[in-house]
Structure 1
Amino acid sequence: MSGDLRSAALDMLFAQDLPIGLALLDSDLRYCAINATLARANGLEVAAHLGRSVVDVLPQAAHDLIPLLRGVLETGRPHHFQIDAEVPSLPGVASEWDASYLPVKDDQGQVAGVLVRAANRSQERADERLRRARQESDQRLRRVLDNLFVFVGVLSPDGRVQEANRAPLDAGGFTLEQIRGREFWLTPWWTHDPLLVDWLKDAAARVARGETVRRDVVVRMAGDTRMDIDFMMAPLRDDQGRVTHLIPSGIDISARRESERALARSEDRFRRAFEGATIGMGLIDTDGRIQLANESLARMFGYTRDELAGKAVHDLVPTRQREAHHGHVGSFMRQPALRYMAKRQELYALRRDGTEIAVEIGLNPMPDSDGQQVLATVNDVTERRAAQSQIERALQEKTALLNEVHHRVKNNLQVISSLLSLQARHADDRVRDALRDSQSRVHSMSLLHQLLYERSDFSALEMGTYLRRLIQLLRDTYLGQSPQIDLLVETPQDLPWRMELQRAIPCGLVVTELVTNAIKHAFPDGRTGQIRVRLGGTALGEVGSPPAATGGVGDHDRLAEADPPWLEVVDDGVGLPPGMAPGQGRSLGLQLLPLLADQCGARLGMESQAGTRARLTWCRDAVGEAHA
């Protein structure tokens, strides 16, 4: 009977890949025919159903299905129903089925079998969810690829373009439709280079045979520009291992290439500077061995560059210093810093022939992926140290000579002073006073040379000390033990008041003349009084010369704001006679004052009010200009 049922039309129907499951059962509920859709749902091949009963194929669902099928056979009426049943394809899961059982009658009108139409709604929904998930995944992948500036394409095994992401298409200035179906090596990216076209054609053939190729290439982009990419083409295989597609991909490496070129240029500049340096340079590793040496270093030590490579730096140190040198190198490698090793020590190096040279060594840490490295710069300073020693000896000799000169000048002035003193013993009072004034002037100059000799500083004189000693000499010369007149010196305590030698001498003579004149004429008839010598203003450095380094440009600004340096001699005596001014009168001292003031670079002013005040003022502009 089953043979009668299976007509050619039914065979054609069951052979179709329909979305719904179909099966034909005979009166014994055995499978006469089944399509692939229902066979897959049942979890068996089509051939595994034929001739077997429903109970054999669907043992878990048979107790629900058999009564329904028997009912159709017995009544001859179709039956439509929904049921939850477990099938072998989904063990342990009750699937929702939508089924129809239709009676199949023979030529006599008797029910000879059942036509089953069944749809696994649970499976359909699962398949739909899977389909949507795959579609969303494909869309996400497409969006990701389209927003990445990487080339990803799909080629057929013969190398024709099927798919490509958007970024390289946009960069190339064309669309997918313009290149789809074309041979990949003939697309606009590659045709600027015939050799590259040939390589890509050969590469596609190799990848179709299962190889993977990769190399850096230059592609053409919109506007006939060029881009460096890291290109790769790999095969895509199916479950049986057959190559179904070729997958080309590329990553923009233009920035990396430019970095590599910049690094190469930098390395070239470094090497040329390294090789062309006139001082010795060597690269030292963490073990204290020379990795690289320039020609200057090799020539300095009497080796070739190849002989220095790999040599321990300790071998270039004199034997007496090697033990300490090991400690220095180890300490430096543990805490590397830009510095001089053995700072403030005289360093010596050992040449190949055993001679020693004086050197200066600079150390510059250069961390590396292989460990700590140090760039050492070595400078042969043997000749410089010899010249420096010669200069120091010459300076010592010059210092000794200047010391002797000032000592002799002081002695000669003391001899002159003694001669004046001897001559004054046999002279009348008027001559004696003139000789004593001259002796005071000689004392002021002699004292200056004595201080220079005592302090061995010939650049300038500290005026506070000088004036105190000078006033003491004048007190001894003119006043003796007399308490009639007080002589006081007031000098600033915060800053030293220094004056260069050529100005200090006339300045001392001015003070001598002013104090002497005050002693003689300010206090007649036995009057008592006071004479004060005062220093004031802001004396930055040496008066009339560039100040000592106390802060740079800021000193000039402070000098412009502060009072200029000044020196004054003040007494509370009877004052000057009416109409008398410096440079006038018969007194030699008064006649000398303007000239001496001009020689020391100051302006002299005198006023008489409740005594006499004479002031030397150094012009702010002159001092500031010298300072600047």
Structure 2
Amino acid sequence: MDFSTSSPKIQHFLVIEDELGKRTVPLIDSTCSLGRDPSNSIVIKSPSVSRQHALLMRVTKPDIDSHLFRLIDGNLQGKRSMNGLTVNGQKCTTHDLNHGDEVMFGQEVRARYYMTNNIADVHFLESCESDEVTGFLSNLHNPMQSQTPPSEVLAHSNEAAIVRLASFPELFTNPIIESNLNGKITYLNPAAVAQFPQLREMQTDHPIMAGVTTLIGQEDEKNFAREVEIGSQIFEQSVHYIAESDLIRTYIVDITKRKRMEAALKDSERRFKAIFNQTFQFSGLLNPDGILLEANQTALEFGGLHLDDVINTPLWETRWWSKSAETQSRLKNAVIEAAWGKFVRYEVDILGAEDKVATIDFSLKPVHDEVDNVVLLIFEGRDISDHKQVESDLQRAHSELEQRVQQRTVELKQSNEHLRSEIVERQRAEAALQSSVATNRALINAMPDWMFRFSADGIFVNYKDAPNTKLPLPSEAFLGKSLYDVFPKATAQPFMECIEKTLDRHEMQLFEYQFDAEGNSFVFEARFAVSAENEVMAVIRDITERKRAEDDIRNALNKERELNELKSRFVAMTSHEFRTPLATILSSAELLEHYGHKWDETRKLKHLSQIQQSVDHMTGLLNDVLLLGKAESGNLAFNPVPMQLTEFCTGLAEELQITTQTHEIVCRLQEQLTEVQMDEKLLRHIFTNLLSNAIKYSPQGGIINFDLVFESDEAILKVQDHGLGIPPSECSHVFNSFNRATNVGNISGTGLGLAIVKRSVDLHGGEITLTSQETVGTIFTVRLPIYK
């Protein structure tokens, strides 16, 4: 019988009897799940049925335009159902359904399996009442009787189905969707059904499918990637157009957690800035319970502490706040208020190194998240001890003077005889006032900042330099001059704007600027305040070191971000590259376990060989990762020895030629006249990877050129293929770890080979370059110095 002859399409049905009654269910999907959970493709209502009870997998027969369905007990993770399956009265775990088979799911649900190729039968089964089905089905003809293939074809079909099961997309935990070019969904794996329960009903109206067919129609490319946001979740969607089948297949990965981690990293950076951008003050971070998370260097140095001594400690238990129980209690109450969202500020005495006591203007500022919950507390403290001392001295002097003046006035009224004494006392009071002014001047001179007085039109009126520092300006030479005569315009202009704003608003103004002097670059912070009518005072501090520290922190954060990206690419690579060999090992092991006693030695050895090949593949992947780890950490050894480079290249080419029947490695190797000093092990890493890649990425076969020439003090080697080529925009990234070109399609790989090549070339003190053109091919050129 000719099995290639076309025949009417065969339709498959299950007639199910459960708590919902008797109903006919057409079998359309290539694979569907059955159970009482609503996420199943076919929902069965019965307490004796498990949540995920069984699977129906479509198995295509070779050379016949038809298929059958295999019934498998349990779920996709291999867990069996609670009450099992019975087919035609026999317990079983798997069964290829035949026309008329009776299946019992659990203890109560009965189902019958039927096939028909009569379109009239199909319309009747889809529209008739349940009580009409039984009589009709009893007379339904089995359309497969006329299409029974020879026994050897069935055997081949059974084996092909078993092998197919090992890599079936239902085993993937990520959603997989297939649709035709009109956008109609033709297949959903269980993960897609569970993740998007309304997808089959909404079709192209669902956000996951919206615009997919338009994307395919407008572009010549066959592979696309995009991000889709659904509610609070973010998905990465890879779209692949399979032209041979007019099929669009999409793979979905939930990247919500990764996106949140990126947002958290940005938030972390903002918090660091909130701490370390504070100036002239103590500052740090607390959690809402008052536990210290960070403190700036000013606060730590004042207390004679290291951050490790106080981190994760309640703030009131640190040395700063241990002055008295009253101070600790007051701080606890302040933390409670701030944790409720209130800004708290007061003056308090704190204890520093060598029992030094300082008065600070202390504040707690709450930081809210997107839902207005307090997640952090920023504490700030400005040392106002000197200010308080000055106020105290002035107040005391003023009180003394007032008291003495009053006393002298009374005495003058009583007697003119006391006039001389009053004058003497007044002179003493004036001397005390002058002493107080001198004290204030001494305090100002002790401040570690430059101070300038400017008129309203930007003229230098007076200045005070910082002790033990050198002002990067001429001294008295700039007094009486304009800002624009002393500073570059880029600095003078914002200076002048701050002066105008300060006089106009009577508010302090702040800005940072950079100044180059004597071959060095300095960063300064300037604060402006009104000091007299039409005059402002500018306090300027050198913050060069602080800025450098901020840059170091920012660079550290960038490196951490790069490390996280590298980790993400490593996880993506291992999850992808390990899945296929693991699936092969699992499939072959299960087949040997269940069918090994029936097989001859040839078939057993075939599956054992598959397991060994998969293990070797995984071992190779791990070796590449370990080798790259050694290179990254500087532990990859470089051991040059005398060697014959031409002989080495010839042998390596012969080894790789054995691995391919569709490629020819053409060697053009110059004879070596002098001995070279190179590391043979690293050379094998370099040229095994380059030649293997040339073979792998030339899937149509052809010639691979391998050239060697000696010039001056270096050896120049080239590997040229005529394969896929590398997109121009990606050539600069090919030596990065876990990087793969976007045009490699389904060709397997880890993205580690060229990274290992680059580091091996670097250890030789050499250089590797490439030229490439898509669909034309790639040339890698390696230049290695000859160590005589």
Q: Give TM-score scaled by structure 2 length.
A: 0.26
Q: TM-score, normalised by structure 1?
A: 0.32
Query: Considering only CA atoms, is the larger Rg found in Structure 1 or Structure 2?
Result: 1
